[in-house]
Chains A and B, each alone.
Chain A
Amino acid sequence: MKRDEVPQDGLPYYGEQRKAVYALDRNGHYEAVASSGWQVEATVTGDAIAEFERLAQAALQRARRGECSPLEYHMYARRMDLPTLAQSTGFWRCGVRRALQPQVFARLRARRLQAYADALGLGVDELKKLP
């Protein structure tokens, strides 16, 4: 990659920030060049975020109908999936999966609720609520 081929697509979320990439200058010598981002990166990152948002919205609808617990919504809203949440709390996956059911969630002990809340960076009251 030559210096003038370094992507400068001005990704909005970079703001004033720049990434450093290595590219060849005119004499064929490598140097670090500041880049304002590549559209490719924005595309794939955007897709990954959109997928979490889709899952969160679906969970929100189901939670409002009482088909799943608010925990499922908060999990996806925090860009986690079930294995990540299980690892973050240290609980078994089957336990976390059960806690996604509203009736199980309602009977969770305070310590367990606190562990979920800590892993998601929320207060216990927020964890029980839906937006």
Chain B
Amino acid sequence: MKVENFEHRHAGHCETGVTSSLLRHYGVELSEPMALGLSASLTFFHFPFVKVGGFPITAYRMPPGSVYGGLRKALGLTMRKQRFGDPDAAMAALDAELAGGRPVGLQASVYWLPYFPPEMRFHFNAHNLIVYGKDGDDYLISDPVFDQPQRCAAADLRKARYARGTFAPKGLLYFPQALPAQFDLRAATQRAIGKTWKMMLHTPVPYVGVRAIEALARRIETLARKNPDLRWQRLFVGNVIRMQEEIGTGGGGFRFMYAAFLQEAGERLDEPALRAAAQRMTDCGDAWRRFALAGAHFARKKPDVTPARLAALLRECAAQERANYEALKAWSKARAA
């Protein structure tokens, strides 16, 4: 069985892509950048005390589930979410939804999905994908980070849905239940942008927002004091870049995607200020790319890249992002007045 009219779409990131594709199938046209922007899922955080694979967690977006969760208020969208204690019940529920002609979103671990190339398989549990059919023992999968639809054997998918650990999916299955007939784009945009700049500029702890970027810069500068082992330092920096490139979207991709959101919102609402912000956000993305490139050179033992140089590049990212959120804040205040 197969949901015939489901259309696979290639996307920059798993959760925004799944949300956008599912909404489109169920009748709401919302581009991937709009899903990211309107759910206010862009952020930056670095928690030195939460370790993933032995290194502190660094992320460029909100935790898993916040994209479709964040659209709940913005769009009046209700996702039906189900988790299951029993893997058999989870697979049966998946089959039942497919039999009813409904493609569903699933959360799964990247490591246990055999269609990923071995180089990309790490224990990361918060990957999102869409199942839109079943052919014999194989499920037909629309994984937004791949340009073609994929297939996955039932036993593998079952294992991937029941990986344990951080962000354990516990068989999570979701699809839109109540859809907005229409929504107020202006109100949703203002609310979402307000949320983003508040988080980036005014979070009271220095682990989230622009201050977290500056804190990470300090941390990289003083890596040698913490551990003189150069190999460890390279792995530390490599890990920050990996969170940005591999687990994120590639090349500071969330910044570019957010820029695309600002551009689209600016055009649809006819707001030149947002289009200008899109331009600056593009520059932020480019700054992140320069940092990633230098970080990779550092990991490759190029002598001209020092931790101080990396810290300087990060501070550049921080300064550009700060200026941009300040501008968005001014826009919000002007609109609210």
Q: Do these two chains interact? A: yes
A interface vs B, CB < 8 Å?
A: 1, 7, 13-24, 29-30, 32, 34-35, 38-49, 51, 78-81, 83-84, 87-90, 119, 121
Known: A22-B12, A38-B251. A48 touches B260 (CB 8 A): no
Some 13 contacts from A to B, beta carbons below 8 A apart, are A1-B256, A13-B118, A14-B117, A16-B148, A17-B146, A30-B260, A43-B296, A48-B122, A48-B239, A81-B53, A84-B53, A90-B164, A121-B159
Known: A19-B145, A20-B11. A44 touches B241 (CB 8 A): yes
B263 touches A79 (CB 8 A): no
B238 touches A19 (CB 8 A): no
B119 touches A44 (CB 8 A): no
Q: How many A-B pairs fall under 8 Å by CB?
A: 131
Nearest-neighbor residue (CB-CB) of B147 within chain A: A18
Across the interface, which residues of B come within 8 angstroms of A24, CB to CB?
Answer: 282
Across the interface, which residues of B come within 8 angstroms of A89, CB to CB?
Answer: 164
Nearest-neighbor residue (CB-CB) of A46 within chain B: B119
**B73 CB-CB contact with A under 8 Å:** no
CB distance from B259 to the nearest CB of A (A): 7
B123 touches A80 (CB 8 A): yes
State A41–B246 Cα separation when bound (angstroms): 6
Known: A20-B147, A22-B257. A40 touches B296 (CB 8 A): yes
A32 touches B251 (CB 8 A): no
B250 touches A44 (CB 8 A): no
Given contacts A15-B117, A21-B253, A22-B12, 19 further A-B pairs with CB under 8 A are A1-B251, A21-B12, A22-B256, A24-B282, A32-B10, A34-B10, A38-B250, A43-B299, A44-B295, A44-B296, A45-B119, A45-B242, A48-B53, A81-B54, A84-B165, A87-B166, A90-B164, A121-B112, A121-B159
A23 touches B164 (CB 8 A): no
Chain B: interface size category: 35 or more
CB distance from B23 to the nearest CB of A (A): 17
Query: Top 6 closest A-B pairs, CB basis?
Result: A87-B165, A30-B260, A40-B296, A13-B119, A22-B256, A13-B117
State A30–B163 Cα separation when bound (angstroms): 36
A47 touches B299 (CB 8 A): yes
**B198 CB-CB contact with A under 8 Å:** no
B118, B242, B250 pick with most chain A CB within 10 angstroms: B250
B250 touches A41 (CB 8 A): yes
Across the interface, which residues of B come within 8 angstroms of A51, CB to CB?
Answer: 235
Across the interface, which residues of B come within 8 angstroms of A119, CB to CB?
Answer: 164
Nearest-neighbor residue (CB-CB) of A43 within chain B: B296
Across the interface, which residues of A come within 8 angstroms of B282, CB to CB?
Answer: 1, 24
A21 touches B251 (CB 8 A): yes
A87 touches B164 (CB 8 A): yes
B245 touches A38 (CB 8 A): yes
A32 touches B12 (CB 8 A): yes
Known: A38-B250, A121-B159. A79 touches B120 (CB 8 A): no
A41 touches B10 (CB 8 A): no
Across the interface, which residues of B come within 8 angstroms of A23, CB to CB?
Answer: 256
**B83 CB-CB contact with A under 8 Å:** no
**B24 CB-CB contact with A under 8 Å:** no
A79 touches B12 (CB 8 A): no
State A5–B264 Cα separation when bound (angstroms): 21
B250 touches A35 (CB 8 A): yes
A84 touches B300 (CB 8 A): no
The listed residue (B163, B263, B295) touching A88 by CB distance below 8 A is B163
CB distance from A75 to the nearest CB of B (A): 11
State A48–B246 Cα separation when bound (angstroms): 11
The listed residue (B10, B118, B159) touching A18 by CB distance below 8 A is B10
A30, A34, A42, A51 pick with most chain B CB within 10 angstroms: A30
**B286 CB-CB contact with A under 8 Å:** yes
CB distance from B251 to the nearest CB of A (A): 6
Nearest-neighbor residue (CB-CB) of A22 within chain B: B256
CB distance from A5 to the nearest CB of B (A): 9
CB distance from B229 to the nearest CB of A (A): 13
**B102 CB-CB contact with A under 8 Å:** no
